[in-house]
Structure 1
Amino acid sequence: MCTSNFYPSSIFLCYISRRKHLQLTILYMQSSLAEGAVTMGKIIKSESLHLQAYHLIKEAIMEGNLKPAERVVEAKVASTLGTSRGTVREAIRMLTQDGLLIYNDGFVKVYEPTVDDVVDIFQCRESLEVLAIRLAIKNLTDEVKESLAHNLQETKKVKPDSPELGQLDQQFHTIITEASNNGQLINLLEVIKVKTHYMRKSMVGGSFYPSFIEDHEQIYEWMLNGNEEEAANLMSVHIKKALEGVLMHIKS
């Protein structure tokens, strides 16, 4: 039996007139629920229902509304989202591919990471981000340079305990990854980014981000100067330090 109940969010319907046609815009507002209740939105009728279900369930996992090791019951989720079990089944399949849901003892459960999993994911991340920065330097454009410079400027303005710091950290790495122009690499690192964020959230509270601004600034300088080896080596060290910081925080 599922340990949590699902409650649909309240829905606000707003009608907008545009080009003499009435369009329906559905805005979701999360309900104020009792502690322990799982919050999800409702499915909007459209062609990609399974993608909507995928994103809504994923959000519930990433925000901690669905806890690690908690069962995800297909029928209950379908009822909450206002869609079919087939739609939810496809969304669950996609989330198992992402590694956020697993099949365990015949049930679907939210992935519960271990310390070994953290080490594994950071090792993969290190190798892939080193490749990404090598490719990014070869493909470096003025737009990428400006994006990285802006990211560093914004990072310096943020307080050390601000949640925005983590977002800017991820953004810096995402800019470099996308500059690689390698679609497969971008997709792989997106999956790793999601799992890394989930691990931080579920294991260290999501608020822990070690000091990284100095490394980011030096990486940026090496990239501008076209120093591929130096940039790649520092990226490797940078990811290793991030892993050490996370492990230290978990053990403490």
Structure 2
Amino acid sequence: MAKAIKRSETLQSQVYEYLREQILFGGLAPGQRLIEERLCEETGVSRSPIREAIRRLEKDGLVVVQAQGGVTVYQPSLADFTHLYECRLNLEPPAAQYAAERRTDAELSELEELLEQMKELQYPSDPRRTHELNFTFHQRISEASKNPYLTKIMNELKVLISFYRNAILEVHPRRPETVICEHEAILEAIRTQDGAKAKASMEEHIKRDFELCMSTNQNRQDDL
């Protein structure tokens, strides 16, 4: 995980971005403790920018500062994932429907390009890029819905969605392959401007994600 921090940017901002990426893309696991001394060694900076970065991460909800002073990566509960599923199920299928009905040719072309990039990417060689493409695909659909409130809410859910997908991939590493098939169905409906089909395909996609997330949680309980 070690990374040399460039001196041309503010140290605190660099450390913040570095730790944020590690948390969002699985480099730091939920519940893992962050030790200042180790972070100083890995990044080559002093404690001050480390502490400032941790304050920002706490504000983002990515880390939890314990009363006794320890810092751990935020660990979503089963209830968190269930609430996220409920939000996505009520937001993303209508967004897909509106996108199918309102999308422009340029927006369609971008979605097609994103899907092609997903097909070319060999997971797990680049998990960060896999997450980025996946989230961007969903985000572009919300933007194509022409409803700015949907887009804003999706942005606010990005952190929890990243934890959600990491949890699934931990137990179902081949999930990106089936995601592509599901994305193809959504994209085809958007391409043909079939709002009802786009809504149904997105709903099926989100339900499948939740089923896998629940099975992941069950596997963890069985291991205890």
Query: Is the pair's TM-score, using the shorter chain for normalization, greater than 0.5?
Result: yes
Equivalent residue of 1:128, what SS?
helix
Contact preservation (8 Å) 1:68, 1:110: yes
After TM superposition, the structure 1 = structure 2 runs for residues 61-140 of structure 1, keeping only pairs within 5 Å, are 61-62=23-24, 64-74=26-36, 77-78=39-40, 80-106=42-68, 107-137=70-100, 139-140=102-103
Q: Deviations over 1:183-242 (max 9, x none)?
A: 664454245344333344356517241724443233223323333344234322321221
- Structure 1 unaligned residues grouped into runs of 5+: 1-38
- Structure 2 unaligned residues grouped into runs of 5+: 220-224
Deviation for aligned residue 1:109:
1.1
Contact preservation (8 Å) 1:125, 1:192: no
Q: Deviations over 1:155-197 (max 9, x none)?
A: 56677x7667955544432331343466664454245344333
Equivalent residue of 1:40, what SS?
coil
TM-score by length of 1: 0.65
Deviation for aligned residue 1:123:
2.3
TM-score by length of 2: 0.71
Q: Against the structure 1 CA distance between its residues 204 and 114, is the aligned structure 2 distance closer, same or farther, given a 3 Å change threshold?
A: farther
Contact preservation (8 Å) 1:155, 1:213: yes
Structure 1 vs Structure 2 CA RMSD: 3.5
Q: Against the structure 1 CA distance between its residues 56 and 126, is the aligned structure 2 distance closer, same or farther, given a 3 Å change threshold?
A: same
User: Aligned residue for 1:207?
Assistant: 173
Q: Against the structure 1 CA distance between its residues 222 and 65, is the aligned structure 2 distance closer, same or farther, given a 3 Å change threshold?
A: closer
2:204 aligned partner, one-letter code: V
Deviation for aligned residue 1:87:
3.0
Structure possessing the higher relative contact order (Cα contacts under 8 Å, 6 or more residues apart): 2
1:201 aligned partner, one-letter code: N
| Percent of aligned positions that are identical | 31
Find 1:246's aligned residue among 198, 203, 213: 213
Contact preservation (8 Å) 1:40, 1:57: no
Contact preservation (8 Å) 1:58, 1:95: yes
User: Aligned residue for 2:222?
Assistant: none
1:98 aligned partner, one-letter code: D
Q: Number of residue pairs matched?
A: 213
Which structure has the larger Rg?
1
User: Aligned residue for 1:41?
Assistant: 3
Q: Against the structure 1 CA distance between its residues 137 and 87, is the aligned structure 2 distance closer, same or farther, given a 3 Å change threshold?
A: farther
Q: Whole-Å Cα distance in 2 between the matches of residues 183 and 89 of structure 1?
A: 35
Q: Against the structure 1 CA distance between its residues 158 and 70, is the aligned structure 2 distance closer, same or farther, given a 3 Å change threshold?
A: closer
Equivalent residue of 1:94, what SS?
helix
Structure 1 residue 51 corresponds to structure 2 residue 13: yes
1:251 aligned partner, one-letter code: Q
Equivalent residue of 1:246, what SS?
helix
* Larger relative strand fraction: 1
Q: Whole-Å Cα distance in 1 between the matches of residues 121 and 8 of structure 2?
A: 39
Q: Against the structure 1 CA distance between its residues 51 and 232, is the aligned structure 2 distance closer, same or farther, given a 3 Å change threshold?
A: farther
Contact preservation (8 Å) 2:96, 2:198: yes
User: Aligned residue for 1:216?
Assistant: 183
Q: Against the structure 1 CA distance between its residues 193 and 48, is the aligned structure 2 distance closer, same or farther, given a 3 Å change threshold?
A: same
Contact preservation (8 Å) 2:100, 2:192: no
Q: Against the structure 1 CA distance between its residues 163 and 40, is the aligned structure 2 distance closer, same or farther, given a 3 Å change threshold?
A: closer
Structure 1 residue 236 corresponds to structure 2 residue 203: yes
